[in-house]
Amino acid sequence: MKDGIRVSEIFGPTIQGEGPLIGRPTVFVRTGGCDFRCRWCDTLYAVLPEYRDEWALMTPAEILARVDQLAGGAPLLVSLSGGNPALQPLAPLIELGKGKGHTFALETQGSVAQPWFAALEWLVLSPKPPSSGMATDWQAFDDCIAAAAGGPRCALKIVVLDDADYAYARMAADRHPALPVYLQVCNPAPMGAAAGSSGEIDIDDLMRRFRWLAAKATADRWFAATVLPQLHVLAWGGRRGV
């Protein structure tokens, strides 16, 4: 299947729980496969090769048919997630979906640039901080921004677990002052869907982390940053498909 896309799951409509589109109704198309292995990844089922048998190889038309079914035929925001969706051949899906009035947002760590980034409405770049255990290739990251030039709105979304992550976020924002920056509270434990547990989340702990991050950014007079919780986790805990 020349134009096949590896899909871990398609679900919604729900709301986007993170980043610049938080609260927006969306259908998620989560692709399978990733070039990173973040310590606190909450979607290991879309990352690790041992889950490959659970991924479906789908054509753009098959994916769009499922999106349209979920959306009742109405145009809406389609969130392309993963794993790392930049590894998949998504250009035909985006073209087909835009022809039906859908808009597309993609979230990636910025490790792989694709020319079809320019066809998106939103490119959310989420470079991974020290707590992830991954290193950022800033040249590859800059290539992603260049690939999107003249196309989508771009934004930085950086997960923050601790002081080192916060310093990293400030550095990343300083490197790209033209991009709006969203600080996302880190959930240090994998979600239940990834860990094989019941999906119970310590909401009190997450809110303490949110208050810490909000206080740190305001005390630092970093007024350009938007500080966000994981809205979907607050609403539904660690359950998949919501």
Distance CA 81, CA 84 (A): 7
Domain membership flag for residue 241:
no
Total domains present in the chain: 1
Per-residue tokens: 44: 């290991």
User: Is residue 77 one of the residues assigned to a domain?
Assistant: yes
Backbone angles phi and psi of 92, in degrees to 5? -65, -35
Q: What was the pLDDT predicted at 2?
A: 63
- Residue 190 has what pLDDT? 55
- 87 is a domain residue: yes
- 242 lies in some domain: no
Q: Phi, psi (5° rounding) for residue 152?
A: -75, 165
- Domain extent, residue 139, equals 5-236
Residue ranges in the chain whose pLDDT is less than 70 = 1-2, 189-199, 242
Task: Report the pLDDT value the prediction gives residue 187, as an integer from 0 to 100.
Answer: 86
Tell me the whole-structure pTM to 2 decimals.
Answer: 0.93
14 located within any domain: yes
- Cα separation, 117 vs 105, whole angstroms: 10
- Tell me the per-residue pLDDT of 39-49, one tens digit each, with 9 for 90 and over: 999 899 999 99
Report pLDDT for 195.
39
Instruction: At 187, give phi and psi (nearest 5°).
Output: -95, 105
CATH code, domain carrying 60: 3.20.20.70
